[in-house]
Amino acid sequence: MFSKACQYGIRAVIYVWKKSLQDQKVGAKEISKHVDAPEPFTAKILQTLVRQKILGSQKGPSGGFYVDEKHEKFTLKDLVEAIDGDELFNGCSLGLEECSEENPCPLHSEIKKVRVHVVHMLTKKSLKQLAQEVESGSTVLSRLLN
């Protein structure tokens, strides 16, 4: 359902949240190791997320990526849009440029129903809440338990 970049981004942000809940900043190298993603690709994704203000970063010896109270409102939908754009939520599932309510493709009405559910799923919990679930052990991202 998600692009590889989104998968890495989701895992990375949950890891950053987990570390931030422990009052720690974390570097791209450590993040890539723990989310099982290539370091250069992870660094690029992290920079995108910083530009979109989903993550914070601080340079220097005590620097790294972090999140705090100003990042608490972000959801998976925000992250997906930051990395992949809004095609999942608005684009034609058949790739047609002219697909709309007035000029629907053959899948338009069915996809519209699915999108309502997807948007609900991606917005009902914040990224922080997902990290808290991992931290408490109620959900698992196996590489993030370390």
Q: DSSP per residue over 52-70, as a string?
A: TTSSEEE-STT-EEE--GG
- Mean pLDDT for 10-25 is 94
Q: Give the domains, in start order, of the chain with CATH numbers.
A: 4-135 (1.10.10.10)
What is the pLDDT, as a whole number, of residue 45? 97
pLDDT for residue 18 is more than 50 = yes
Q: Is the pLDDT of residue 10 over 80?
A: yes
Q: Give dist(CA 91, CA 98) in Å, integer.
A: 10
Phi, psi angles (nearest 5°) of residue 125: -130, 145
Print burial letters for 101-134: b (CB count within 10 Å at least 16), e (below 16). eeeeeeebeebeeeeeebeeebeeebbbebbbeb
